[in-house]
Structure 1
Amino acid sequence: MLVELVAENVAIMDKARLQFGPGFTAITGETGAGKSLLMGSISLCLGERTGPDIVRAGAAQAVVQAVFDPPASTKRLLEELGYGSDDVLYLQRKIAAGGRSQCRINGRLAPLNILKRIGDSLADLHGQHEHQSLLDANRHLDVLDDWIGADAAVLRERIAKLHHENLEVSRKIREFEADDREREHRRDLLRFQVAEIEEAGVQMGERARLEEDLTRLKGAEILAKALHEAAECAFAGEVAARDLLARSLRSLETAAQIDSRLRPACDQLQSALIALEECALGIKDGQQGIEFNPERLEEIAGRLDLLGRLARKYGDTEETILAYLNESKENLNFLAGSEASRDDLALKLAENEKRFGADCGLLTALRSERAGKFADLVGHELSELGMPKAALSATIQPKPRAADGADELEFLFSANKGERQRPLSKVASGGEISRVMLAVKTVMAGKGGVPTLIFDEIDAGLGGQTAAIVAKKLEQLSRNYQVIVITHVPQIASRASKQISIEKREVDARSVTRVRSLQQEERIEEIARMLAGETVSEAALENARHLLRR
């Protein structure tokens, strides 16, 4: 669903911000006020091409941004294309005065063709714009299948699965048929890689454990060296502090026997020697608690080096290395397979092709049976929409079997009796294509398709009872889709749950477009204007109130 549209410097529209909601929104205003600029702004966000003349005179660039609440199908497409799948989708387009265009999806730069793919999944625009799914014959098959419903969906799912399996089996058969020398070279390489990884005996989480042990052992090595040096200096070396203190004490005791004043110095030296002995015991205890194994340290370093080399060749982690090992074993087993394996694949392909062909045949029959009924229903709707002589038909032609079956389908159209039916893109005007789409969507109500429908020119040539019927059908359609209509017809505008007015004014001697959402009293005045023209009478106001009460 379209939630918000912001447009800046688009032709005569300097700045506009529109809030949309579910249901039926009508956009009204005098001719030339700029209503179709809103359609153009939306289509730009959906990937339609444009030129620099869209930029307001004197502005450096035109900027349009649309905010969508995307459906699940669009979220899956965004995820597939790498743009995330948030609950809010931002589409932005900038067109410089020099002609350069920049597209963003959720703030990230994107090419125009990707923006168009996203846009095609969000909205159908019907008017003088490219974003019209009915003009793309490649999408007609999906329209019919969506209308058919579960019967077509089940067959398409089976066909798509078989098509994928057949492609994979065919690929394996081609590998079998590849040059023997190339296959042997591949087999030798895989044998070497499998042997290298298996001989290494890689275990999950091994590198982390080894690095932890390495850190501990390196710490033990440093500690051992420090305590050894302390022991050498204190008591274990050739010139140790303990020996020097003992010699000093003996000499001082001899001196104290002669001079008693030296007795305190002897006592202090004796205390120092005792303290040093206690320190020596502490050093020895510390040395006994150290777990230092130089051989283990060297072993760990070598193992980590091996794991590093394997990681550079086969994957960053033990998990990816082991996954590569399993994949290589599977490939090796496949390459080492006998001719019987090739025959098995050929047999499987033949069986799949048989089932594939049968399901494609069932789907073709189903489409052929239902296409006429679908076209008749659309024709009935067109008659009610003021096109009693219009006719729609579906032509089904065979094509090479693919994931969607073995059919090409195109809708053909003629607006008047006796005219040759031709592709919609070649014969339908903007107003006609809008009514054809309204008829199609009415027939398909609740059966899939994009969530937002935007109509321009749907009221071309309408009046009286036909306009009232179109208005009613748009209102009914809005129960299943978000419907936005640009209209000049009061019967259509009055059926909308929300109305937006477009006005053209002069500001500082320049034409500008102003956009605003109308409250109830403002809607009465606007619909009265649509009924009566510039001079709004009390009768026109009463008629407007009557229309809005329906």
Structure 2
Amino acid sequence: MLRALDIRDILIIDHLELAFQPGLNVLTGETGAGKSILLDSLGFVLGWRGRAELVRQGADQGEVMAEFDLPEGHPARDVLQEAGLPAGDELILRRVNSRDGRKTAWVNDRRCSGEVLRRLSETLVELHGQHDDRGLLDPKGHRALLDAYGRLEPLKTKARSTWRGVAEARKALETATAALDEVRAEEEFLRHAVSELDALDPQPGEEEALDTRRRLMQQAERIREDIARAQAALGQEGAEGSAGDALRWLEGVADRAEGQLDDAIAALGRAMVELDDAAQGVARCLEGLSFNPLDLEEAEERLFAIRAMARKHGVAADDLGEFATELRGKLAALDQGDADLKALEAALSAAQAAYDAAAGALSAARSEAAGELDRAVSEELAPLRMERAVFSTQVEPSDPGPEGRDTVTFTVATNPGAPSGPLNKIASGGELSRFLLALKVCLTGTDSGLTMIFDEIDRGVGGATADAVGRRLAQLAEDGQVLVVTHSPQVAARGAHHWRVEKKVTGEQTLSTVTPLPTSERVDEIARMLSGDRITEEARAAAQALMAG
């Protein structure tokens, strides 16, 4: 609820402090007195887009501050939390417009953007008027209004959930189909490549082993002769034989050398063992260098085949086995692909069926809620002297979406047999005002803590009809807060709180003022609205009768 509005240096307002109350608040005054400036100022602090130049002539900046009550559970608290702004039982908005056009906003003394203000405003204030193309006159919002009236959020949640399920199932099928098409496009290559790799069967480390063996065989003839000479030098005809002779000779005289040959004999024994090891190693090497010339050719052929395969596929030779496994996996996916696609198609069909059921249930509930809303609005139109008018909520099929597959449009026919059409196309100014009021009375149960503002919604009506409008506005304000800018004395008489807006010229300066009216002054203001500038006793009596009625 709007508690206070403080306006400084905005257009023709130098400083106004207004304290609003629960119930029906009415603002009256002559045309041009500045009533629209109050709404402009409130719209400015709420971040609405309006006039570009708001700063009063001669002032450096204009400023508007609005104070709202914010009870527990108020939807504005969610907006504040999401924006990282402090929230309490009181919400204070302040916005400044400098002379150079810069605008700065604060929420509870914390800087914020105009976008945050606009999001807050959607939870705080709702404006209705003949020229308001948002809210009730905007067909784009009619479905949401009907859903709120019918309390259809659980069904909408189900529709959104199943719609996401359809989207996810369709995406999974499309992804799998694209992947399968990609594999099918290279199926011939895959099968040929896997066949080649399976036939070659390269092993990790094989390339290095083949290269080493090939180089060894290439050098074998060059080194074999020297190795054979070394074998001869180490054998019985060489070092091993000489060392053996020397050992026998020394052992034959060792007992007569008084121990002086013991160390030499031991050393020769060790040398004999080492010579034997060396001879065996050389013999093994010679044996390894003995190969069939075809072995070299076979090693080279396989080595070159492995390297050619690696170059062909752009991978390292040691990675050919892993690459072959990857290709086999693609082939397996290809072979399994049709079965997988059938499973994904079945999942999509199931998801679509779930959405169809949810959307169907939502459509049926909307049709039922539409009938209830039509009956409720018709009951409201009778007291507003429009008992012959027909209000109809049209629920028609549309493209499927996350909130179902319906379009909702509020239509009216002002007289029986007359063609129906959109609210703002068919109804005249006075009729439109009453349609909007009747509709708002029926929908008010769906609002949560909104301050409703009606800007001259009673224009074009008078007499008993204006009185009916005033009564319905008062009914709408019983459990909330309604602000009405009006020229109708019948509506003003129903107000619980009354302000008069006046424009005064002092010297060369024109200023707008707003004065709260006690009961006695309310009588004179309503009398003025009835009779004009000259207030008669008869007008006062009529005003008192209106207020008493």
SS of residue matched to 1:54 = coil
Equivalent-residue separation in structure 2 for 1:470 and 1:492 (angstroms): 7
Preserved CA contact (<8 Å) 2:11 2:54: yes
SS of residue matched to 2:461 = coil
Equivalent-residue separation in structure 2 for 1:502 and 1:370 (angstroms): 42
The sequence identity of aligned pairs, in percent, is 36
Instruction: Report the equivalent of 1:367.
Output: 366
> RMSD of the alignment, in Å?
3.5
CA deviation map 1:142-178 (0-9, x unaligned): 21122223xx233223223334555566667777778
Preserved CA contact (<8 Å) 2:377 2:439: yes
SS of residue matched to 1:57 = coil
Shift of 1:372: 4.5
- Describe how 1:255-404 pairs up with structure 2 within 5 A: 350-375=349-374, 377-379=376-378, 381-382=380-381, 384-387=383-386, 391-404=390-403
Instruction: Report the equivalent of 2:410.
Output: 411
| AA at the equivalent of 1:141 | R
Equivalent-residue separation in structure 2 for 1:110 and 1:130 (angstroms): 27
Shift of 1:463: 1.5
Preserved CA contact (<8 Å) 2:46 2:117: yes
- Describe how 1:75-474 pairs up with structure 2 within 5 A: 75-127=77-129, 132-149=134-151, 152-166=152-166, 350-375=349-374, 377-379=376-378, 381-382=380-381, 384-387=383-386, 391-413=390-412, 421-424=420-423, 433-448=432-447, 451-474=450-473
* Structure 1 residues 104 and 435, CA gap change in structure 2 (3 angstroms): farther
| AA at the equivalent of 1:371 | A
| AA at the equivalent of 1:157 | T
* Structure 1 residues 434 and 11, CA gap change in structure 2 (3 angstroms): farther
Gaps of 5+ in 1: 181-337
Instruction: Report the equivalent of 1:504.
Output: 503
497-506 or 110-119, larger mean C-alpha shift: 110-119
Equivalent-residue separation in structure 1 for 2:142 and 2:166 (angstroms): 26
CA deviation map 1:357-377 (0-9, x unaligned): 112112112323442452354
SS of residue matched to 1:21 = coil
CA deviation map 1:362-406 (0-9, x unaligned): 211232344245235435534543556655433334334333222
* Structure 1 residues 82 and 414, CA gap change in structure 2 (3 angstroms): farther
Equivalent-residue separation in structure 1 for 2:78 and 2:126 (angstroms): 19
Equivalent-residue separation in structure 2 for 1:88 and 1:139 (angstroms): 29
What is the TM-score normalised by the length of structure 1?
0.63
| AA at the equivalent of 2:60 | A
| AA at the equivalent of 2:355 | F
Preserved CA contact (<8 Å) 1:52 1:95: no
| AA at the equivalent of 1:12 | I
Equivalent-residue separation in structure 1 for 2:42 and 2:130 (angstroms): 13
Equivalent-residue separation in structure 2 for 1:424 and 1:51 (angstroms): 27
* Structure 1 residues 158 and 57, CA gap change in structure 2 (3 angstroms): same
Considering only CA atoms, is the larger Rg found in Structure 1 or Structure 2? 2
CA deviation map 1:412-456 (0-9, x unaligned): 346677875444455667765543321112223423366221111
* Structure 1 residues 80 and 525, CA gap change in structure 2 (3 angstroms): same
* Structure 1 residues 170 and 75, CA gap change in structure 2 (3 angstroms): farther
SS of residue matched to 1:534 = coil
SS of residue matched to 1:52 = coil
Preserved CA contact (<8 Å) 1:446 1:480: no
SS of residue matched to 2:21 = coil
Equivalent-residue separation in structure 2 for 1:428 and 1:104 (angstroms): 41
* Structure 1 residues 49 and 432, CA gap change in structure 2 (3 angstroms): farther
| AA at the equivalent of 2:125 | A
Shift of 1:342: 9.2
| AA at the equivalent of 1:489 | S
Equivalent-residue separation in structure 2 for 1:110 and 1:48 (angstroms): 14
| AA at the equivalent of 2:119 | R
Shift of 1:469: 0.7
Instruction: Report the equivalent of 2:313.
Output: none
Equivalent-residue separation in structure 1 for 2:443 and 2:424 (angstroms): 21
SS of residue matched to 1:468 = helix
Instruction: Report the equivalent of 2:315.
Output: none
Q: How many residues align?
A: 395
Preserved CA contact (<8 Å) 1:126 1:433: no
Shift of 1:475: 0.9
CA deviation map 1:1-22 (0-9, x unaligned): 2121122222212221211122
Equivalent-residue separation in structure 2 for 1:126 and 1:421 (angstroms): 22
Preserved CA contact (<8 Å) 1:41 1:64: yes
1:532 aligns with 2:531: yes
